[in-house]
């Protein structure tokens, strides 16, 4: 369970009443700060509301409450504070952005531009303000001015795709077909891996060139990312002889697209807090945006907030082509909060409705694997593999994961066949090389080939702690204790908090006569909270030494990573 779940109780303790029975400023302030640091936006908003009641004129509290409400998706409440915020700081970037978005939602395009013009700028701010202002100019009937504004913007090379895309979208919405096609095609050529650019161009092509031209654009994207539901839905329409409407029709939709695109970029580049603001504003402007909600939920997953992700996935409209993706991820997050039965039931319902839904089947397999139902996950992965007519390189993970499940359920012949098949499909895959090589060495078979495989894996991934540990432990199993110490010391440097690796190093130290260091490593491994079975073995070694403890083979350290 993520740490933030228990935050309200801890924060509440900090926010206890004073001797007169009233909430204290310091308590609520500290609680709000702690909630913010833990990214518990619900608790942060609660404590900041308390602070606003206690100290309504405190400008810092107003700013913190405003930002916390935006991050938490309480946009209507945040808007009430935005006017106060810019009254204190006339050029407050996020305050002005919020007011501009509110004005766009209310068709007040001149007011929106005024707010954007007053916001403090930077690379993201310049692009945001320019693209939003362009959409407001289109809303005011000035398409020519909108395109000129975009074209005047100078900045980094990565601006280019968004500039061309939004210029094309504005022109397409305005009915200026020829110019729209030129700009949208340019956007697609710059970034052919972006579904939004491909979708925008293909839609234009279906209406202005031919249905075949639209299909060709989607087919190019499908080579990079097969079976995308948005593409599949579009192809169904095209196969039925139907043309596709413009991706964007209104200034509100266009502005939401700006905020979504930049929010997604910020989330990928480590700007999670600002990404949350952009995505929440995008959804507030356009609740039906097909990608903003999924991107927000994905960001919550990245921040280890599965409850928030579940809430967003449930909000995706049933009519959206992405609803099924949302349902699969919802189940994954249910499992993350230990609602395993509900998650399993959810995925089984999806699979029953469509027995060929490979994504749902694989998701169920991964959940069963994480829950150590190895016989169950092997069966489910077999179901997914059965859907593949001719396995290719992209399918190696399915055979690898089924191989792990078979090995863990004591079906070595099937496991070996799966791991060999995974290597056949992807001969240089380090995790497969490591797992098969280690398994051979551990069983005392194919020793030379097994060691060569692990060495190759370690060469391919020299900074991968579990793989380096496997190499060290393979040397140990073969009696090459000096080499084992060298590799295991390196593995501990890479993963100092791993109890299995520290335990392995202790064993190697013992074998080369470094008994005091062995004891230190075992004690350290014990303190790192190993699995119960491993803990008992470690304790025996601490008490009696390695030889007297007669420790059987220890579980592979790469197992956690493999899962």
Dist. CA 431–CA 437, nearest whole Å: 10
Strand partners, 17: 23
Contact 244, 184 (CB under 8 A): no
Burial class (CB in 10 A: 0-12, 13-18, 19+), 46: buried
Q: Provide the pLDDT for residue 21.
A: 34
Q: Provide the pLDDT for residue 313.
A: 95
Q: Is 525 within the bounds of a domain?
A: yes
Q: Is 484 within the bounds of a domain?
A: yes
Dist. CA 202–CA 213, nearest whole Å: 7
Q: Provide the pLDDT for residue 117.
A: 94
Segments in 444-531 forming alpha helices (H): 447-460, 465-477, 481-494, 499-511, 515-527
Q: Which two tokens stand for residue 465?
A: 């702690």
Q: Is 261 within the bounds of a domain?
A: no
Q: Is 42 within the bounds of a domain?
A: no
Beta-carbon neighbour count of residue 57 at 10 Å? 8
User: Taking the chain (563 residues) in consecutive chunks of 10 residues, what is each chunk's mean pLDDT?
Assistant: 31 38 53 56 63 67 85 92 90 94 98 92 89 98 98 93 97 97 97 95 97 97 93 96 96 98 91 94 94 95 93 92 94 96 96 95 97 96 96 96 97 98 97 97 93 97 96 95 97 97 97 96 96 93 86 48 42
Centroid of chain to Cα 563? 17
Give the tens place of pLDDT for each residue, 464-481.
999 999 999 999 999 999
Contact 98, 281 (CB under 8 A): yes
Dist. CA 309–CA 301, nearest whole Å: 6
Q: Provide the pLDDT for residue 60.
A: 77
- Which residue range forms the structural domain that includes residue 472? 438-563
Rg (alpha carbons) of the chain, rounded to whole number? 28
3-state SS, residue 129: helix
Contact 230, 261 (CB under 8 A): no
Residue 109 belongs to what H/E stretch? helix 109-118
Dist. CA 216–CA 456, nearest whole Å: 41
Contact 214, 235 (CB under 8 A): no
Going by C-alpha positions, the residue among 550, 556, 529 that lies closest to residue 471 is: 556
Contact 328, 344 (CB under 8 A): no
**561: CATH:** 1.25.40.10
Which region, left, alpha or beta, applies to residue 242 given φ > 0 means left and ψ of -120 to 50 means alpha?
Answer: beta
Q: Which two tokens stand for residue 75?
A: 């946009």
Q: How many residues does the chain have?
A: 563
Q: Which residue has the tokens 């970037």?
A: 93
Dist. CA 546–CA 490, nearest whole Å: 22
Q: Provide the pLDDT for residue 3.
A: 31
Q: Provide the pLDDT for residue 58.
A: 72
Q: Give the chain's domain count.
A: 1
Give the tens place of pLDDT for each residue, 177-236.
999 999 999 999 999 999 999 999 999 999 999 999 999 999 999 999 988 999 999 999
Contact 430, 461 (CB under 8 A): yes
Going by C-alpha positions, the residue among 194, 136, 142, 137 that lies closest to residue 164 is: 194
Q: Is 102 within the bounds of a domain?
A: no
Going by C-alpha positions, the residue among 233, 221, 243, 220 that lies closest to residue 323 is: 233
Dist. CA 114–CA 150, nearest whole Å: 17
Question: What predicted TM-score, i.e. pTM, was given to this entire model?
Answer: 0.82
């Amino acid at each position: 369970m993520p740490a933030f779940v228990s935050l309200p109780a801890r924060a509440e303790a900090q926010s206890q009443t004073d001797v007169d029975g009233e909430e204290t400023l310091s308590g609520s302030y500290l609680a709000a700060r702690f909630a913010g640091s833990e990214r518990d936006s619900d608790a942060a908003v609660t404590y900041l509301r308390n602070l606003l009641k206690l100290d309504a004129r405190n400008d810092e509290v107003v700013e913190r409450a405003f930002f916390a409400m935006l991050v938490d998706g309480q946009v209507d409440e945040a808007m009430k504070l935005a006017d106060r915020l810019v009254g204190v700081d006339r050029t407050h970037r996020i305050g002005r952005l919020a007011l501009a978005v509110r004005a766009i939602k209310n068709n007040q395009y001149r007011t929106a531009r005024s707010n954007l013009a007053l916001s403090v700028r930077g690379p993201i701010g310049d692009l945001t303000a320019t693209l939003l202002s362009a959409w407001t100019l289109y809303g005011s009937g000035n398409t020519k001015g909108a395109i000129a504004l975009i074209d005047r913007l100078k900045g980094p090379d990565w601006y280019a795709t968004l500039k061309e895309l939004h210029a094309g979208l504005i022109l397409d919405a305005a009915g200026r077909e020829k110019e729209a096609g030129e700009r949208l095609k340019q956007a697609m050529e710059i970034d052919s891996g972006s579904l939004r650019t491909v979708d925008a161009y293909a839609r234009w092509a279906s209406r202005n060139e031919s249905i075949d031209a639209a299909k060709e654009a989607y087919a190019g994207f499908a080579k990079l990312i097969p079976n995308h539901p948005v593409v599949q839905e579009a192809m169904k329409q095209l196969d039925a002889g139907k043309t596709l409407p413009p991706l964007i029709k209104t200034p509100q939709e266009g502005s939401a697209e700006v905020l979504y695109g930049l929010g997604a970029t910020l989330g990928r580049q480590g700007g999670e807090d600002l990404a949350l603001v952009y995505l929440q504003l995008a959804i507030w402007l356009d609740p039906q945006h097909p990608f903003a909600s999924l991107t927000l939920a994905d960001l919550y997953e990245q921040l280890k907030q599965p409850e928030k992700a579940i809430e967003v996935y449930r909000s995706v409209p049933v009519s959206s082509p992405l609803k099924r993706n949302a349902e699969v991820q919802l189940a994954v997050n249910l499992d993350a909060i230990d609602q395993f039965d509900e998650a399993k039931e959810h995925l089984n319902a999806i699979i029953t409705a469509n027995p060929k839904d490979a994504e749902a089947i694989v998701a169920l397999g991964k959940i069963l694997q994480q829950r150590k139902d190895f016989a169950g996950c092997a069966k489910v992965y077999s179901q997914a593999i059965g859907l593949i007519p001719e396995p290719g390189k992209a399918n190696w993970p399915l055979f690898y994961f089924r191989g792990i499940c078979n090995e863990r359920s004591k079906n070595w012949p099937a496991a070996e066949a799966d791991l060999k098949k995974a290597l056949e499909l992807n001969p240089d895959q380090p995790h497969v090389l490591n797992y098969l090589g280690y398994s051979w060495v551990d069983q005392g078979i194919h020793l030379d080939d097994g060691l060569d495989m692990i060495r190759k894996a370690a060469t391919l991934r020299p900074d991968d702690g579990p793989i380096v540990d496997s190499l060290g432990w393979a040397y140990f199993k073969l009696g090459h204790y000096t080499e084992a110490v060298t590799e295991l010391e390196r593995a501990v440097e890479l993963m100092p908090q791993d109890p299995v690796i520290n335990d392995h190093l202790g064993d190697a130290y013992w074998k080369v006569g470094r008994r005091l260091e062995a004891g230190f490593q075992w004690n350290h491994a014990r303190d790192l909270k190993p699995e119960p079975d491993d803990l008992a073995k470690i304790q025996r070694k601490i008490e009696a030494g390695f030889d007297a403890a007669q420790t059987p083979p220890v579980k592979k350290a790469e197992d956690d990573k493999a899962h």
